[in-house]
Structure 1
Amino acid sequence: MEQESHYGGHGTTRPGGRTARVRSAVLRAAGDALAELGFAGLDLADVARRAGVGRTTVYRRWATPTGLVADLLTEMAEESLPRAETGSLLGDLRANARLVRRTLTDPRQGPLFKAVIAAATCDAATADALRRFYATRIAEWAPCVEQAVERGELPAGTDPHEVVRAVSAPLYYRLLASGDPLDEATADRAAEAAAAAAAAGIYVVRT
């Protein structure tokens, strides 16, 4: 089932028996707790209560709040939406920017991402999981840049990963630093700026 944001948090339960159902329930509860309380308020006993499972189960499998957050990031990457294919670079980048914007302004997802990023600043395992999450998402969208090179929209040698990063960077800056509004016009402007810079050869890898 498609989800509007990077990670809907309330999607369908994947098959796999009781273990998979428990993991899904616990990670959903962890996401809810992070969105409500932030990383500082994440407590394994509270997550177990929210998920309706035994505390021993949660402590045995995840051990620490950071271990739980790391696994949550893994699931978020697995359940993220596939990239759009509009037929043009600007259309694809605009779709990416709008998806990121919807996620970051969602009442649940915005606080959840803030909490996860905060956790990554103080725990190496969570930071590594966050890097893997974004690497997965960037790799998902990189082909739109590669296809633009093939169509002649961009110069050969354009780094697709750098272009995709350039789209979301100003949106995360607003979420985490400036607090400026994150509206659709802002998302479109980020996509247009990245597309224009790419067309000008800014992201061509120099050898």
Structure 2
Amino acid sequence: MGFDGADPGTVRPGGRTARVRAAVLQAAGDALAERGFAHLDLADVARRAGVGKTTVYRRWGTVTSLVADLLADMAEQSLPRTETGSLLGDLKANARLVRRTLTDPRQGALFKAVIAAAVCDAKTAEALHRFYDVRVREWAPCVRQAVDRGEVPAGTDPHEVVRAVSAPLYYRLLTSGEPLDEAAADRAAEAAAAAARAGAYLPDR
């Protein structure tokens, strides 16, 4: 899942380059969460990470390339899909994971900052789209398994089902101001599962 821009993830894991990348991405995430995209500065990130400015400028070059790499790393580090044996159980696990991420003080602020930047920056938007594509593809097999078990109709679009779980949670985060609690996560999963069983995510509907 390559992102446009620098490609620091191709180095040997565990080496100095990997350690520098980890430190810089941690610093970039902290800075994003604290100050937002508009105030993200490569020199400040280098200072926070304890590495030379030239290293950061040479490897990432621009703020958008750095954010793209941060999102790529976050997708790689995200927890793997949970398998519970039922579609509703799997979707609840997904919803609760999304909810925990979005209510985390650092992660929630970071996502808000990146989403806000993506509205007016095409490269950041592309990086964000790729992040979510990775996460949706990670969870899509739970819907295919539900089709195999006869829980939902054959032809159900797994990507749409997974997106339907997250959508109400992001709506609460970004627009409503309502509590993003576990009950809200479970309701989102229940609604998506019910809609899938009813055939709402079949093609041409």
TM over 0.5: yes
Secondary structure of residue in 1 paired with 2:84: coil
Distance in 2 of aligned mates of 1:126 and 1:61: 17
Partner residue, 2:155: 157
Kindly indicate whether the alpha-carbon contact (under 8 Å) linking 1:66 and 1:119 is maintained by their aligned counterparts in 2.
Answer: no
Equivalent residues in 2 for 1:17-166, closer than 5 Å = 17-166=15-164
Q: TM-score, normalised by structure 2?
A: 0.92
Deviation at 1:206, TM superposition (A): 3.3
Give the gaps of 5 or more residues in structure 2: 1-11
Inter-partner Cα distance in structure 2 for 1:72 and 1:125: 13
Identity %, equivalent residues: 82
Residues 94 and 192 in structure 1, CA contact (< 8 A), matched pair in contact too:
yes
- Cα deviation digits, residues 103-147 of structure 1 (max 9, x gap): 000011100000111221222221111111100000000000000
* TM score, norm. by length of structure 1: 0.91
Q: What RMSD in Å do the two structures reach over aligned CA positions?
A: 1.2
- Aligned pairs, how many? 194
The 8 Å contact of residues 34 and 115 in structure 1, kept in 2 or not, is answered as yes
- What residue number does 1:185 align with? 183
In 2, Cα distance between equivalents of 1:62 and 1:119? 18
Distance 2:173 2:148 in 1: 34
Once the two structures are TM-superposed, the CA of residue 83 in structure 1 deviates from its matched residue by: 0.4
Task: Give the match for residue 5 of structure 1.
Answer: none
> How many Å separate the matches in 1 of 2:37 and 2:172?
20
Residue 48 of structure 1 deviates from its aligned partner by 0.4
Q: Aligned partner of 2:162: which letter? A: V
Structure 1 residue ranges (4+ consecutive) displaced by more than 3 angstroms after TM superposition: none
1:16 positional shift: 3.7
